[in-house]
Chains A and B, each alone.
Chain A
Amino acid sequence: MRARTRLTNLPLGAAPVVLTLVSSSLILLAAGANPFEAFANIIGGAFESWRKFADVLVALVPLMLCAAGMLITFAAALWNIGIEGQIIMGALFTTAAVRWFPLPSALILPITILAGMLGGALWGLLVGLMRTHGHVNEIFGGLGLNYIAIALTNYFIFGPWKSVDGATMSGTDPFPAAATMPLIAGTRASWPPLIIALLAIAGVYLVLNYTRWGLHLKAIGLNAQAAGRMGIRTTANILLAFAACGALAGLAGSFQTTAVYYRLIPSISSGYGYLSQLVVLLSLLRAEWVPLIVLFFSIISVGSPRLELRMQLDSSLGGILQGSIVLFFLLTRGLQQRLSQRRERKHG
C-alpha cells in the first residue's frame, strides 16, 4: 500500500512543473518562438551578471515581506486581498515622514521604516475592523481599501506632492540622499531591506510554529467558535493578524520608496501583494518553503524582460509562468486528494 502511494505521488509531484512548461511552450509556439530559447533566456537573464542577479534580490524583498505577512493572515484563514493597499499605505506614510518631518539624517531611515509599518498596519487594521465589527468580508473590504489607497497616492502625487517640474506619472521628487537605503557596492540592491526581509520570514516561521499566538491563529482559522469557547480572544487576534500582515506589507512599500524608486510613484506596489498570495498558496502555508519559492518567482520576474530584448516577445510571459505553475499545482493537489479519497473508499 505504502509503496503504491509513493509511486503515484511521484509523477503527480512533478506534474505542475511539467504542465506549466508544456502549456507555456504551446503559447510560445503559437507566438512563433522557440520555447527552449525562451526558457534559457529567462534563466540566463537573471544570472547574466552579478549586477543582474542583485536585481533578483531587489525583487525578492517585497515579495518575501508580503508573503511573510500573508502567512499570518492565512494561518487564521483570512484572505487579506487588501495587502496591495497596505503596501501602498506603507509607501505613502514613508513619503510623508520624509517630506513632512525635518529629521536629523541619522534618524531618517529608522523613522521611514516605522512609518511604513504604521501605515500598512493601520490599513490592515481597517480591513480587520470592517470584518469584526462591520460584518464586511475581508475580501471585499480589502479590495475597496486597495482602490482608496491607489486614489490617495495619486492625489498626493498630482496634488500636494507634485514634482517641481509639474505633476507626472513618474511620481514625486526624489528623496534626499539621507532617506535612501545604502547599496551593496556595484549593484542596485540595498542590504538592510534584504536582511530585514530574511529576518521577517524567519520570525514568522517561529511565530507560527512555536508560539502560543501562532497556535491561537491556527485554531481560529480552523474553528473560530470552538477556539472562542476555549478562551481564545478571536476578535483581538484577528485584528492583530491583519495589523501584523499590514505592517510587513507596509514595510515592503516603505522599502520600495527608500531602496528601489527613491520617491513615491503611482503604482508603487507593482502587484507584489497579489503575487505574494500565489507564493503562499504554492508553499501550502508553510513558511519554510517561502524563501525558495520567492527566489524562483523573483528569477522569473527579473529574467523575463530579456525575452523582449532578445526575442521580441512580451515580458508578460513571466507572469504567465508564475500564474500557471500555481494553478497547476493547486489542480494536481486537488486531483491527488480526490484520488486518495476514492482509493480510501475502495480499499478502506
Chain B
Amino acid sequence: MFIELENIHKHFGRVHANAGISLTVPEGRIMGLLGENGAGKTTLAKILSGYQTHDAGTIYLDGKQASFRSPAEAIRAGIGMLHQDPLDVPALSVLENFELGGLQSGLRKSRASAARLQELCKRFGFSLDADAAVSSLTIGERQQLEIVRLLDQGVQVLILDEPTTGISSPQKVLLFRTLHRLASEGISIIFVSHKLDEVEQLCSSVTVLRRGQVAGSLESPFSPADLVLLMFGKALDITERPDVPLGDSLVELRDGTIRTYRLTMDHLTLELRAGEVVGLAGLEGSGQQLLMRACAGIQPLAGGTLAIAGQDMTRKNYREFARLGVRFVPAARLEEGLISGMSIREHYALIDPNQGNVIAWGNAQTQAAEKISEYNIVGSPDSLVQALSGGNQQRLLLAMLPEKLALLILEHPTRGLDIGSSRWIWEHLLERRLQGTAILFTSTDLDELVKYSDRVIVFSGGMMSAPTPASQVTSESLGYMIGGNLR
C-alpha cells in the first residue's frame, strides 16, 4: 500500500505538534521517521493509525482519500501500529490477545486461531506459548505478539513506535530480520525512532521531523552527520569524557547473596571507588537491577556484608543509605520516582531539607523555578509531573538530587531520551565525579555503557562477570558476553 500525507496539522492546546507535514511512504520498504523527543513523530504515527484525529490535512491510501476515527477503522483499511508500551491485555493469555479484534462473527474459533498463531510464529521464528499469560512475557515477546496479531488482521502498513526500547539485543536482531522480511513481502514499514544507528541499519529511506515539520528526507545510505544536522538543525560536537582521578574505596560488597522468588545470586563482590563510573550490562532481569537495589538499601542482602564509606550498611534501610549520600534514580519515573498528581513546586516542598512543621511555600517556589531554568525543564513550578515529557521527568529527577552525593545509582538514565538530552544528562552526571560521587548505572545501550563507564560488569542469569575496564570492551564483545559467555 502506498501512503501519502498532505499538510497534516495537529494542535495540543498551544503546542503545534504537527505543523503541516507532507510525506509519502513507499510500498514494501522500510521508512524511518526520525526526530528528537517532542518532534511530532508519535503524534503523526497515531494520526496515521487512527489513535488520534488530525486538525487539518489529508491522508491518501493508494491515491484515495481516507480518514480514520478509531484504530479499528485504520486496521480495517490496512494500517496497524505497535506502541512504545504494548497496548495488549496483560491478564489474558497469548492466544486470547491474538484473537482480540479479529472476532468477526462474535464466536471464538480457538483452534483455528491457535493454528494461525503457530504458523505466523514459525514463519518469523518467534517462540510464543499460546497459553502463557501476557503478563509473563517480556516487552520483546509482547511486541512479537502484536506483530503477528496485526498481520493476522491483514494490515499492509506496520507502524512501529520506538520498538527497540526495552527489548534485548537478540530480540532486536530478530525484530530487524522480521521487518526486512515483511518489507520484501510487500508490507510497508514505518519505523519511528530517535536512534540514528538503528535507522542507518534498517531503513531504506528516512524522513526527519523537527518541531512538527519535515526537516528533510534522505535515501540510504545515510551519513550520520547529515542525519544529526537534520534532527537538530546543527552539528553536535562529540563530548569528551574527561578523566578524573579516582578517590578512596567507597562501596565494598563482600560475598553478598540476594534471594528473590525469581533469582538467587551469590558470591557477589563489588568494589567502587569515589568518582568511578561502573556500567552494568545484561538482559532485563539478569540480576543487575537487584545488585543496584542492594547497593541503594532497597533490596536486603540475604548474606554477606556491604560497607559504604567505611560504614557497615548490611542491614540498613534506604533512609539510612540516603543519609550517607546514596540516591537511587529508578527507570519507572512515575511509579517509583515522582508523585503523579503533584506539581514541581510540591516536589521541592517535599524534599526541602529544612524540616520545619510549616511548609515554606515561598522557598519551594524559588527552588523549583531555579532548578527549572538550571536543568532546562520545559514546565513551570505549577506543572504536574505527569504532564511533563519523559525527558523532562528525567531532568526533574536529577534536579531533585542533593548537590553533594557519595553514590548515585541510576536505572536506564537516558531511556527514551533523544541524543541531545542524553548528552546533556551525561555531561551533568560526569560533572558530579569531580566531587567524588561514584556512579552505578544500567543501560541497554551498549555504546552508552562503553562510552561513559570506567569499568563494565556484565550480568547473565544471575551471574556477574569480573569488572572489565571500559577501554578493553566494545559493544560487540559486550553483546557476546550478555549472551551468556561471561568469561
Chain A contact residues, CB within 8 Å of chain B: 210-216, 218-219, 222-223, 225-233, 345-348
Contacts and interface: CB of A to CB of B under 8 A. Distances in A.
Given A222-B340, A225-B336, A230-B350, A346 B53 contact: yes
Contacts of A214: 359
Contacts of B356: 212
Given A215-B349, A222-B342, A231 B335 contact: no
Nearest to A223: B339
Contacts of A223: 335, 338-341
A232 B12 contact: no
Contact of A212 (B13, B53, B342, B359): B359
Given A211-B358, A212-B358, A230-B350, A348 B339 contact: no
B359 A210 contact: yes
B357 A213 contact: yes
Given A211-B359, A215-B349, A229-B328, A348 B12 contact: yes
Given A210-B358, A212-B356, A227 B11 contact: no
Name the residue among B330, B341, B350 with the largest chain A CB count within 10 angstroms.
B350
Given A227-B339, A229-B328, A345 B52 contact: yes
B350 A219 contact: yes
B351 interface: yes
Contacts of A215: 346, 349-350, 359
B13 A226 contact: no
A212 B12 contact: no
Name the residue among A210, A216, A223, A228 with the largest chain B CB count within 10 angstroms.
A223
Contacts, number: 67
B342 A216 contact: no
Q: Which 5 A-B residue pairings sit nearest by Cβ, starting from the closest?
A: A348-B12, A222-B341, A223-B339, A222-B339, A348-B11
* Interface range on chain B (Cβ under 8 Å from partner): 20 to 34
Contacts of B102: none
B336 A348 contact: no
Nearest to A206: B358
Given A232-B350, A346-B53, A219 B358 contact: no
B351 A348 contact: no
Nearest to A1: B13
A218 B340 CA distance: 11
Interface string B348-376: 01110001111100000000000000000
Given A231-B319, A231-B322, A348-B13, A226 B336 contact: yes
Contacts of A232: 350
B55 interface: yes
Nearest to B347: A230
A348 B350 contact: no
Interface of B: 10-13, 17, 52-53, 55, 318-319, 322, 328, 330, 335-342, 346, 349-351, 355-359
Given A211-B358, A348-B10, A219 B342 contact: yes
A218 B347 CA distance: 11
Contacts of A226: 335-339
Nearest to A216: B350
Contacts of B359: 210-212, 214-215
A343 to B, nearest CB: 12
A229 B336 CA distance: 7
Name the residue among B318, B330, B356, B358 with the largest chain A CB count within 10 angstroms.
B358
A2 to B, nearest CB: 12
A34 B319 CA distance: 65
Contacts of A225: 335-336
A223 to B, nearest CB: 4
Contacts of B52: 345, 348
B482 to A, nearest CB: 29
15 contacts: A212-B356, A215-B359, A216-B350, A218-B342, A219-B346, A222-B342, A223-B340, A226-B339, A228-B318, A229-B330, A229-B336, A229-B337, A231-B322, A347-B11, A348-B55
B361 to A, nearest CB: 8
B52 to A, nearest CB: 7
A228 to B, nearest CB: 7
Contacts of A211: 357-359
A305 B322 CA distance: 60
A212 B357 contact: yes
Contacts of A229: 318, 328, 330, 336-337
A167 B277 CA distance: 77
